[in-house]
Homo-oligomer: A and B are copies of this chain.
Amino acid sequence: MSASAKDSANTAEASELDHVVAHRATGIVPRLKSAARREDILNHASRLFLSYGIAGTSTRMIANAVGISQPSLYAHFATKEALTNALSARAFAGLEELIAKIRSADIPAATRLEAMIRGYIGFALDQGTAYRIAFMLEGPMHEDEEFNPDILPGMQAFAGFRDGLALLQREGHLREGSTDHLAQSLWATMHGLCALLLARPDFPWGDVPSMIDFHVEIILAAYQNKP
Residue ranges of A at the interface with B (Cβ–Cβ < 8 Å): 1-2, 4-5, 51-56, 132, 135-144, 146-147, 155, 177-178, 180-181, 184-185, 187-193, 195-196, 199-200, 202-206, 210-211, 214-215, 218-219, 221-223
Contact = CB atoms under 8 A, between A and B. Distances in A.
A5 B142 contact: yes
A213 to B, nearest CB: 9
B137 A138 contact: yes
A141 B53 contact: yes
Contact of A222 (B56, B196, B200, B218): B218
A38 to B, nearest CB: 23
Contact of A188 (B136, B142, B143, B215): B215
B144 A4 contact: yes
B140 A56 contact: yes
Copies held by the complex: 2
A138 B211 contact: no
Contact of A147 (B146, B196, B203): B203
A201 to B, nearest CB: 9
A195 to B, nearest CB: 5
A138 B57 CA distance: 12
Nearest to A202: B147
A211 B185 contact: yes
A195 B195 contact: yes
A132 B138 CA distance: 8
A191 B189 CA distance: 8
Contacts of A200: 135
Given A2-B142, A221-B222, 20 more contacts: A2-B140, A2-B144, A4-B144, A5-B143, A53-B138, A53-B140, A132-B138, A135-B195, A136-B136, A147-B202, A155-B203, A177-B214, A178-B214, A180-B206, A181-B206, A184-B205, A185-B215, A189-B192, A192-B195, A219-B222
